């Protein structure tokens, strides 16, 4: 299932679509890196650490390109040696499969 998820492309959600329920979220959490955490069943977040600002910035730029290609954009906080990445599906006020697709693809960066 992990390979399937990583090979999927994000599909836009519509207003009124239902966010993932807690059980579905936990099923997806079994697939992604243990370093991702779910916050209140509405946000998926991970902190990436780097040896310097330049590497953190390069990662951020690569993530920005990935997000543009997928049409699913994270909240990104960049600081010296650290990037905090958060995914949520704003249209549905919760998590969707897209958030987990992006988590898998972000880990590959």
Could you report the per-residue pLDDT of 54-95, keeping only the tens digit for each? 999 999 999 999 999 999 999 999 999 999 999 999 899 999
Could you report the per-residue pLDDT of 20-60, keeping only the tens digit for each? 999 999 999 999 999 999 999 999 999 999 999 999 999 99
- Other beta carbons within 10 angstroms of residue 81's beta carbon come to 14
Please report, for residues 2, 33, 58, 73, the alpha-carbon distance to residue 38 in angstroms, rounded to integers and kept in the order given.
18, 12, 25, 17
2-8+20-108 CATH pick, 3.40.50.11540, 3.75.10.10, 3.30.1360.20, 3.40.50.920: 3.30.1360.20
The reported pTM is 0.90
Question: What are the residue boundaries of the structural domains of the chain, listed by start?
Answer: 2-8+20-108
Q: Hey, what are 31's tokens? A: 């697939």
């Amino acid at each position: 299932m992990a390979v399937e998820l990583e090979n999927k492309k994000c599909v836009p959600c519509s207003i009124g679509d239902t966010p993932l329920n807690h059980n579905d979220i936990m099923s997806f959490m079994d697939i992604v890196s243990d370093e991702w955490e779910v916050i209140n069943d509405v946000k998926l977040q991970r902190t990436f650490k780097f040896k310097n600002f330049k590497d953190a910035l390069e990662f951020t730029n690569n993530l920005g390109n990935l997000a543009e290609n997928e049409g699913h954009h994270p909240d990104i906080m960049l600081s010296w040696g650290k990037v905090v990445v958060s995914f949520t599906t704003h249209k549905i006020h919760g998590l969707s499969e897209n958030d987990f697709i992006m988590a898998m693809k972000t880990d590959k960066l």
